[in-house]
Amino acid sequence: MKYIDRSSLPFGRSIFGVAVAATLAACGGSDGGSDSTVSSAQIPCESLIGKTLDGGGVVNTAEEIPAGSYTPPNLAPYEPSPLTSLPAFCRVTVTKQTSPDSSVDVEVWLPKANWNGRFLGTGNGGPAGAITYYTGLREGLIRGFAVANSDLGTARDITTREGHPEKWKDFGYRATREMTLAGKSIVNAYYQTSPRYSYFQGCSTGGQEALTHAQRYPTDYNGIIVGAPGNNRTHLNMSFIWNHKALTAPGATLTPGKAKMVQSKSVAACVGKDGGSPTDTFLTDPRQCNFDPKTLPVCAPGADGDDCLTAPQLAAVEKWYAGPTNPRTGERILSGVPFGSEALLYGLADQSASWWPAQQFYPFYWIFGKPYDHNTFDFDQDVERIDDALAPILNANNPDLSAFKANGGKMIMYTGAQDPAVVFPEAIKYYERVVTAQGGDLTATQSFFRYYLVPGMGHCSGLDGGDGGTEFGQPYSAYVPTDPQGDILIKMTDWVEKQEAPEEIIGTRFTASGQIATQRPICVYPKLPKYLGGDPNKAGNFVCQDGPRGSGPATDERYLNK
């Protein structure tokens, strides 16, 4: 696969290249789970221009886009061009003035024919700043959804928001709400009817948006898909500083070759002992791995090859695994990074990349000003300062989803077991807190909220690395599945509309030419896939069995009350 330059790649984006774009063009998609289409366009697309929307805002542009390939204006450089395999649609843009000091750009795509009667809100990634098309907007359109996305109000430069709390609110929660209101209003105007059902899906920052919306606006969506949620946002970005400081200390930087060596050692120490196949190149459940980094090969004096670590490099790796803690109290600020994720995107070699601070240190610029020397961050006093200002706006740690449940809402959350950026123990920690809020009843929680740990997947999808069943129709996936068993979005619609709760999802890894390389079941927590024997690339040779409960070391309660 030919990749784009990582220097332009924000956190939460996938790496799309020529081969992936070609595969997308070759793939079809399910019909969105609809038994029949609901409506064709009732009014001319261009007639929407100038329309005042429910909840505020005016339509800026509205244009008919013919079926085929399309390159939107101002397409971000990290997204493939052109967008391919599109049905004919009406493209609508809106700018909503959210305060005298802030605004949000929204884009809505409406199928001209074969609309399935549903609205799909989609999340963004990283610091946002632009409409993103491969977080579900394009793929939702192919499935027959009317779809929407926003720039989260951070267009141009997210690092220049010091002293602008209204802009912080847009990023934290308001932009997604405004997108939702605008999208539904435009659907109503265009089709002359409201959507039958409304769904939201997002990963990374989009996962933060998803949990935020369920907690703050529990009646907006019937179903919400939460991928790798950055919902503990202030502490997540603190972990980025922790890791960056460790891996940029004098003599501590690791090459990609060293990162691959470390990953091979951690996987070899534990593979096949956690239910997976002994021939896997990844861990099914890193929580069950007791790898000791002190067993990594140490370089001889004067040597520094990819087959060993120097003393400063080993110290940095140990700190990376350990995760950030308060040096005075010992309280955990965020989980450490799981074994088996060392060489993936955002792993050991990338944490020291020059583009990382520019993309991920924006909350600290907001509070401390720009420029800001992140090496001066105090993991005791500065944690409180950041949390006091930003946690009420950015973090979505509230486990009380009773209003969302009472409204009939359904939620699916997933994370990659090899994700070195948004680490899965934090998602498990949140899920178990929801179970506690539901009276400690796992069955009651699973009646509306289910979590899936995806073995062998990095951040959000296989495009960010991993050899497991990494594609299942999620945001940032390279494929629109043709089989509903491997389509998380259709699994969600079936749960909401047919009361068919998803027990397992089939994850697939494809070759560069689009052939199936691996398939494996993705099991509902606390179950994990258990290898039965035979070809480990076939899902039928695994069965979902109960695994351990709990997350291991994760954020202390003190830092979850913010």
**181 shares its domain with 40:** yes
pLDDT tens, position by position, 319-377: 999 999 999 999 999 999 999 999 999 999 987 777 788 889 999 999 999 999 999 99
Residue 42 within a domain:
yes
Range of the domain at 325: 235-388
* Catalytic residue from among 14, 34, 204, 461: 204
The pLDDT confidence band at residue 18, using thresholds 50, 70 and 90, is: very low
Phi, psi of 309, deg, nearest 5: -120, 140
* Catalytic residue from among 170, 274, 419, 494: 419
Q: Confirm whether 204 is a catalytic residue.
A: yes
**53 shares its domain with 174:** yes
Neighbours of 196 (CB within 10 A): 13
The pLDDT confidence band at residue 41, using thresholds 50, 70 and 90, is: low
Mean pLDDT, the chain, rounded, equals 91
The pLDDT, as a whole number, for residue 39 is 55
**38 shares its domain with 141:** yes
Q: Confirm whether 419 is a catalytic residue.
A: yes
Residue 213 within a domain:
no
Residue 531 within a domain:
no
**66 shares its domain with 119:** yes
**65 shares its domain with 178:** yes
Closest CA to 536 of 155, 160, 275: 275
Residue 400 within a domain:
no
**148 shares its domain with 240:** no
Instruction: Please identify, among 195, 215, 244, the residue that sits at the C-terminal boundary of a domain.
Output: 195
Question: Total structural domains in the chain?
Answer: 2
* Catalytic residue from among 459, 461, 464, 487: 459
**250 shares its domain with 319:** yes
Among residues of the chain, what percentage have pLDDT more than 70? Answer: 93
List b or e across 287-321, with b for residues whose CB sees 16 or more CB atoms inside 10 angstroms: bbbebebeebeebeeeeeeeebbbeebbbbbebbb
Residue 430 within a domain:
no
Residue 159 within a domain:
yes
Residue 398 has pLDDT above 70, yes or no: yes
Instruction: Please identify, among 338, 363, 388, the residue that sits at the C-terminal boundary of a domain.
Output: 388
**313 shares its domain with 188:** no
Instruction: Please identify, among 373, 388, 403, the residue that sits at the C-terminal boundary of a domain.
Output: 388
Stretch 123-139: mean pLDDT: 91
Lowest-confidence segment of 41-50, 494-503, 531-540 by average pLDDT: 41-50
The pLDDT, as a whole number, for residue 31 is 53
Residue 9 has pLDDT above 50, yes or no: no
Residue 13 has pLDDT above 70, yes or no: no
CA 485 remoteness from chain centre: 21
Residue 37 within a domain:
yes
pLDDT tens, position by position, 525-536: 999 999 999 999
**35 shares its domain with 184:** yes
| C-alpha separations of 243 from 118, 139, 227, 353, 390 in Å | 42, 34, 22, 11, 21
**279 shares its domain with 151:** no
**110 shares its domain with 52:** yes
The pLDDT, as a whole number, for residue 134 is 85
Residue 544 within a domain:
no
Residues with Cβ within 8 Å of 455's Cβ and at least 6 positions away in sequence, in order, are 276, 280, 282, 283, 284, 285, 417, 418, 468, 469, 520, 522, 528, 529
The pLDDT, as a whole number, for residue 156 is 78
**247 shares its domain with 180:** no
The pLDDT confidence band at residue 58, using thresholds 50, 70 and 90, is: very high
pLDDT tens, position by position, 435-478: 999 999 999 999 999 999 999 999 999 888 899 999 999 999 87
> With the C-alpha atoms ordered 34, 40, 45, 51, is the resulting torsion angle positive or negative?
negative
Residue 14 has pLDDT above 80, yes or no: no
Q: Confirm whether 513 is a catalytic residue.
A: no
Residue 432 has pLDDT above 50, yes or no: yes
Residue 26 has pLDDT above 60, yes or no: no
Phi, psi of 416, deg, nearest 5: -80, 135
Residue 12 has pLDDT above 60, yes or no: no
CA torsion 175→61→34→213, rounded to 10°? 0
Closest CA to 459 of 186, 240, 166: 240
